[in-house]
Amino acid sequence: MNAAFLSIYNQLEHQRTVVIDQVKNLPAEKFNRAPVPGKWSISQILTHILIAEQLSVNYMRKKALGIDQLKNSGPLEVLRLEILKISQRIPSLKFKAPQVVVANTPSAFPITELISRWEIHHQELKEFLDSIEEKNVKKTIYKHPLAGRLDARQAMVFFREHMNHHWPQIKRLLNQN
């Protein structure tokens, strides 16, 4: 794997294993319990995160088919990513999931299915990243709904920040009786 991707990919893998370790032994009732009507359960949060990542990687695969026509990321994309990171770290900022994510997200996966799907997804992400040639590492193959075009490493930074954004929500649910 390209060095530009390896560190952030390893961070995503670590993040995934930490989350799975926290939820894998939860009773189904707690994993699936919404704190109040209209709020997400742990299973819904993690299903949302997984589906958002899968759709993003599918989009990047599609854009990679014409990678030579894409421009390289530069200072503007760095700035956009920094603004996106800040937005994910402000708990009071709420964003609606993009319609494509909402439309393609099932209500929730059971824990064993979620773990299996997430593991497969990360393997597919690794294989995709391995397929990107060195000369194309900076190509803007990802399109975030708010931040716009970013490269694959920047997309993974967003994946990490997206999980960090939802982590306090997950922790609150884990700490409820």
pTM (2 d.p.): 0.92
The per-residue pLDDT for 146 is 87
Q: What is the mean pLDDT of each run of 10 residues along the chain (177 residues)?
A: 92 96 94 91 95 96 96 96 89 76 82 95 96 96 94 97 94 89
The per-residue pLDDT for 155 is 97
Domain 3-175 indexed as CATH 3.40.50.720: no
**Integer Cα distance of 8 and 30 in angstroms:** 31
The per-residue pLDDT for 92 is 75
Domain locations along the chain: 3-175
Which of 23-32's residues contact partners 24+ apart within 8 Å by CB, and which partners? 23/111, 23/170, 23/174, 24/111, 24/115, 26/111, 26/174, 28/110, 28/111, 30/173, 30/176, 31/111, 32/108
The per-residue pLDDT for 61 is 97
